[in-house]
Amino acid sequence: MRAARVIFQVHSLRAEGLTQAELEGVLARHPVETGSLGVTAHHADDAGRVASGSLPPARDFSPPLDFETYARLRQARWIYRIEATEVEPEDLGYLRAALLCAGEVAAMTDGLIVDLLAFTTLAAEEVAREIDRPFDPLRHVCVHVERGPRPYFVHTHGLEKFGHPDLELHGVPRGSVDVARSILRHVVAAVVAGGRFRAGETTQLCGFHFAFAASGHPEPAHFSNGSLCLGGFELLGDVVTPEMEGMLVA
Protein backbone atom coordinates (compact mmCIF):
# COMPACT_ATOMS: atom_id res chain seq x y z
CA MET A 1 0.00 0.00 0.00
CA ARG A 2 1.30 3.44 -0.90
CA ALA A 3 1.93 5.93 1.87
CA ALA A 4 -0.19 9.08 1.92
CA ARG A 5 1.85 12.27 1.79
CA VAL A 6 0.95 15.95 2.10
CA ILE A 7 3.34 18.81 1.28
CA PHE A 8 2.54 22.48 1.85
CA GLN A 9 5.02 25.34 1.50
CA VAL A 10 4.43 28.73 3.09
CA HIS A 11 6.23 31.50 1.17
CA SER A 12 6.82 34.68 3.18
CA LEU A 13 8.36 38.00 2.14
CA ARG A 14 9.12 38.97 5.75
CA ALA A 15 12.79 39.57 6.57
CA GLU A 16 12.44 38.08 10.04
CA GLY A 17 11.53 34.42 10.35
CA LEU A 18 9.83 32.34 13.01
CA THR A 19 11.93 30.90 15.80
CA GLN A 20 12.37 27.17 16.32
CA ALA A 21 10.29 27.46 19.49
CA GLU A 22 7.45 29.07 17.53
CA LEU A 23 7.55 26.30 14.91
CA GLU A 24 7.57 23.63 17.61
CA GLY A 25 4.57 25.36 19.17
CA VAL A 26 2.66 25.15 15.89
CA LEU A 27 3.37 21.42 15.64
CA ALA A 28 2.35 20.85 19.26
CA ARG A 29 -1.02 22.52 18.66
CA HIS A 30 -1.81 20.19 15.74
CA PRO A 31 -0.60 16.71 16.66
CA VAL A 32 -0.90 13.64 14.44
CA GLU A 33 -1.74 10.48 16.37
CA THR A 34 -0.04 8.19 13.86
CA GLY A 35 2.28 8.93 10.97
CA SER A 36 4.55 11.98 11.02
CA LEU A 37 4.32 15.75 10.69
CA GLY A 38 7.22 18.19 10.45
CA VAL A 39 8.15 21.76 9.54
CA THR A 40 11.47 22.90 8.07
CA ALA A 41 12.45 26.53 7.54
CA HIS A 42 14.57 27.85 4.65
CA HIS A 43 15.97 31.39 4.61
CA ALA A 44 17.35 33.81 1.98
CA ASP A 45 19.44 32.10 -0.73
CA ASP A 46 18.36 28.69 0.49
CA ALA A 47 14.72 29.78 0.16
CA GLY A 48 15.41 30.87 -3.41
CA ARG A 49 16.82 27.45 -4.27
CA VAL A 50 13.83 25.73 -2.70
CA ALA A 51 11.42 27.97 -4.62
CA SER A 52 13.12 27.46 -7.98
CA GLY A 53 13.43 23.72 -7.42
CA SER A 54 9.93 23.00 -6.14
CA LEU A 55 7.51 25.39 -7.84
CA PRO A 56 5.82 24.26 -11.05
CA PRO A 57 5.39 26.86 -13.83
CA ALA A 58 2.74 29.51 -13.17
CA ARG A 59 0.54 28.08 -15.94
CA ASP A 60 0.37 24.68 -14.20
CA PHE A 61 -1.36 26.05 -11.11
CA SER A 62 -5.11 25.81 -10.84
CA PRO A 63 -6.12 28.46 -11.63
CA PRO A 64 -2.94 29.68 -13.41
CA LEU A 65 -1.09 32.25 -11.31
CA ASP A 66 -0.71 35.85 -12.40
CA PHE A 67 2.75 37.37 -12.64
CA GLU A 68 2.51 39.26 -9.34
CA THR A 69 1.52 36.20 -7.30
CA TYR A 70 4.12 33.96 -8.91
CA ALA A 71 6.84 36.57 -8.38
CA ARG A 72 5.81 36.77 -4.70
CA LEU A 73 6.38 33.04 -4.38
CA ARG A 74 9.75 33.12 -6.14
CA GLN A 75 11.00 36.12 -4.14
CA ALA A 76 10.16 34.70 -0.71
CA ARG A 77 12.73 35.44 2.01
CA TRP A 78 11.47 32.52 4.08
CA ILE A 79 9.92 29.22 3.00
CA TYR A 80 8.38 26.90 5.57
CA ARG A 81 7.85 23.36 4.31
CA ILE A 82 5.16 21.39 6.11
CA GLU A 83 5.14 17.67 5.32
CA ALA A 84 2.91 14.91 6.71
CA THR A 85 2.99 11.20 5.93
CA GLU A 86 0.67 8.37 6.92
CA VAL A 87 1.43 4.77 5.93
CA GLU A 88 -2.02 3.32 6.60
CA PRO A 89 -4.48 6.22 6.76
CA GLU A 90 -7.70 5.35 8.57
CA ASP A 91 -8.98 8.92 8.47
CA LEU A 92 -7.83 12.31 7.19
CA GLY A 93 -6.38 13.58 10.47
CA TYR A 94 -2.89 13.88 8.94
CA LEU A 95 -4.22 16.10 6.15
CA ARG A 96 -6.18 18.29 8.54
CA ALA A 97 -3.16 18.68 10.85
CA ALA A 98 -0.84 19.63 7.96
CA LEU A 99 -3.39 22.13 6.64
CA LEU A 100 -3.83 23.72 10.07
CA CYS A 101 -0.05 23.98 10.53
CA ALA A 102 0.30 25.64 7.13
CA GLY A 103 -2.56 28.02 7.89
CA GLU A 104 -1.10 29.03 11.24
CA VAL A 105 2.40 29.58 9.82
CA ALA A 106 0.91 31.63 6.97
CA ALA A 107 -1.03 33.77 9.46
CA MET A 108 2.09 34.34 11.57
CA THR A 109 4.26 35.32 8.59
CA ASP A 110 1.84 37.00 6.15
CA GLY A 111 2.70 34.09 3.90
CA LEU A 112 1.01 32.37 0.98
CA ILE A 113 0.53 28.60 1.06
CA VAL A 114 1.43 26.43 -1.93
CA ASP A 115 -0.01 22.94 -2.16
CA LEU A 116 2.88 21.26 -3.97
CA LEU A 117 0.92 18.13 -4.85
CA ALA A 118 -2.31 19.70 -6.13
CA PHE A 119 -0.70 22.83 -7.69
CA THR A 120 -2.94 25.30 -5.85
CA THR A 121 -2.40 28.25 -3.50
CA LEU A 122 -4.20 29.17 -0.28
CA ALA A 123 -4.22 32.16 2.05
CA ALA A 124 -4.50 31.70 5.82
CA GLU A 125 -8.12 32.89 5.85
CA GLU A 126 -9.03 30.28 3.24
CA VAL A 127 -7.67 27.56 5.53
CA ALA A 128 -9.94 28.84 8.31
CA ARG A 129 -12.96 28.62 5.99
CA GLU A 130 -11.92 25.16 4.77
CA ILE A 131 -11.77 23.74 8.30
CA ASP A 132 -15.25 25.04 9.12
CA ARG A 133 -17.06 23.42 6.18
CA PRO A 134 -17.67 19.79 5.10
CA PHE A 135 -14.63 18.08 3.60
CA ASP A 136 -14.58 18.16 -0.21
CA PRO A 137 -11.79 16.09 -1.80
CA LEU A 138 -11.98 18.14 -4.97
CA ARG A 139 -10.60 21.13 -3.06
CA HIS A 140 -7.49 19.04 -2.43
CA VAL A 141 -7.07 17.45 -5.88
CA CYS A 142 -6.63 19.39 -9.11
CA VAL A 143 -8.08 18.26 -12.45
CA HIS A 144 -5.94 19.59 -15.31
CA VAL A 145 -6.90 19.85 -18.97
CA GLU A 146 -4.00 20.22 -21.39
CA ARG A 147 -3.97 20.50 -25.15
CA GLY A 148 -2.16 17.54 -26.68
CA PRO A 149 -1.73 15.84 -30.04
CA ARG A 150 -4.86 13.64 -29.63
CA PRO A 151 -6.20 16.38 -28.69
CA TYR A 152 -6.87 16.75 -24.90
CA PHE A 153 -5.02 15.28 -21.92
CA VAL A 154 -7.18 15.34 -18.78
CA HIS A 155 -5.54 14.29 -15.52
CA THR A 156 -5.31 14.81 -11.77
CA HIS A 157 -2.68 16.13 -9.38
CA GLY A 158 -2.84 15.55 -5.63
CA LEU A 159 -4.00 11.96 -5.12
CA GLU A 160 -0.73 11.15 -3.35
CA LYS A 161 -2.38 12.84 -0.36
CA PHE A 162 -4.63 9.80 -0.14
CA GLY A 163 -1.97 7.19 -0.87
CA HIS A 164 -3.07 6.69 -4.49
CA PRO A 165 -1.46 7.36 -7.87
CA ASP A 166 -2.90 10.15 -10.00
CA LEU A 167 -5.22 9.50 -12.93
CA GLU A 168 -4.87 10.14 -16.68
CA LEU A 169 -7.19 10.31 -19.66
CA HIS A 170 -5.62 10.66 -23.10
CA GLY A 171 -7.17 11.60 -26.43
CA VAL A 172 -10.31 13.22 -25.06
CA PRO A 173 -12.29 15.09 -27.78
CA ARG A 174 -13.11 18.75 -27.11
CA GLY A 175 -16.82 18.03 -26.69
CA SER A 176 -16.16 15.32 -24.09
CA VAL A 177 -13.83 17.25 -21.76
CA ASP A 178 -16.60 17.92 -19.22
CA VAL A 179 -17.53 14.22 -19.23
CA ALA A 180 -13.85 13.34 -18.62
CA ARG A 181 -13.68 15.81 -15.73
CA SER A 182 -16.81 14.28 -14.20
CA ILE A 183 -15.40 10.75 -14.46
CA LEU A 184 -12.17 11.77 -12.76
CA ARG A 185 -14.00 13.59 -9.98
CA HIS A 186 -16.08 10.51 -9.26
CA VAL A 187 -12.98 8.29 -9.17
CA VAL A 188 -11.29 10.80 -6.84
CA ALA A 189 -14.32 10.70 -4.52
CA ALA A 190 -14.16 6.89 -4.52
CA VAL A 191 -10.45 6.95 -3.65
CA VAL A 192 -10.94 9.39 -0.77
CA ALA A 193 -13.75 7.18 0.54
CA GLY A 194 -11.31 4.26 0.70
CA GLY A 195 -11.42 2.87 -2.84
CA ARG A 196 -8.27 1.40 -4.32
CA PHE A 197 -7.68 0.94 -8.06
CA ARG A 198 -4.78 -0.90 -9.69
CA ALA A 199 -3.56 -1.53 -13.23
CA GLY A 200 -5.52 -4.37 -14.82
CA GLU A 201 -8.69 -3.71 -12.83
CA THR A 202 -12.00 -2.51 -14.28
CA THR A 203 -14.92 -0.60 -12.82
CA GLN A 204 -18.28 0.92 -13.73
CA LEU A 205 -18.92 4.60 -13.14
CA CYS A 206 -20.83 7.51 -14.70
CA GLY A 207 -22.53 5.27 -17.26
CA PHE A 208 -19.29 3.63 -18.44
CA HIS A 209 -17.34 0.44 -17.99
CA PHE A 210 -13.60 1.13 -18.22
CA ALA A 211 -10.19 -0.23 -17.23
CA PHE A 212 -7.15 1.03 -15.37
CA ALA A 213 -3.71 0.57 -16.95
CA ALA A 214 -0.12 1.62 -16.33
CA SER A 215 0.69 5.26 -17.04
CA GLY A 216 0.76 6.35 -20.66
CA HIS A 217 2.56 9.63 -19.97
CA PRO A 218 6.00 10.02 -21.60
CA GLU A 219 7.33 11.94 -18.56
CA PRO A 220 6.74 9.93 -15.35
CA ALA A 221 8.03 12.83 -13.24
CA HIS A 222 4.92 14.80 -14.29
CA PHE A 223 3.19 13.02 -11.39
CA SER A 224 4.45 13.06 -7.80
CA ASN A 225 3.59 9.43 -7.04
CA GLY A 226 2.96 7.70 -10.36
CA SER A 227 -0.32 7.49 -12.23
CA LEU A 228 -2.93 5.17 -13.71
CA CYS A 229 -4.40 5.56 -17.18
CA LEU A 230 -8.16 5.15 -17.71
CA GLY A 231 -9.19 3.63 -21.04
CA GLY A 232 -11.20 1.01 -22.94
CA PHE A 233 -14.47 2.85 -22.34
CA GLU A 234 -17.73 1.05 -23.02
CA LEU A 235 -21.16 2.61 -22.63
CA LEU A 236 -23.71 1.20 -20.20
CA GLY A 237 -27.47 1.74 -20.32
CA ASP A 238 -29.73 3.36 -22.87
CA VAL A 239 -29.17 7.06 -22.11
CA VAL A 240 -26.27 8.10 -24.34
CA THR A 241 -25.18 11.57 -25.42
CA PRO A 242 -22.71 12.58 -28.15
CA GLU A 243 -20.39 13.80 -25.39
CA MET A 244 -20.44 10.36 -23.76
CA GLU A 245 -19.85 8.66 -27.11
CA GLY A 246 -16.73 10.78 -27.54
CA MET A 247 -15.17 8.98 -24.60
CA LEU A 248 -15.10 5.74 -26.56
CA VAL A 249 -11.97 6.92 -28.37
CA ALA A 250 -10.12 7.77 -25.13
Burial 221-240, CB ≥16 within 10 A → b, else e: ebbbbebbbbbebeeeeeee
Q: How far apart are CA 188 and CA 68, in angstroms?
A: 32
State pTM to two decimals: 0.91
**How far is CA 173 from its chain centroid?**
24
Q: Which residues contact 19 (CB under 8 A, 6 or more apart)?
A: none
Q: What is the pLDDT of residues 100-135, one digit of tens each?
A: 999 999 999 999 999 999 999 999 999 998 888 887
Regions of the chain where pLDDT drops below 70: 1, 149
Q: What is the DSSP letter of 92?
A: S
Burial of residue 105 (number of CB atoms within 10 Å: 0-12, 13-18, 19+): buried
Q: How far apart are CA 216 and CA 240, in angstroms?
A: 27
How high is the pLDDT of residue 199?
Answer: 96
Q: Domains of the chain, with CATH numbers?
A: 4-131 (3.30.70), 138-249 (no CATH)
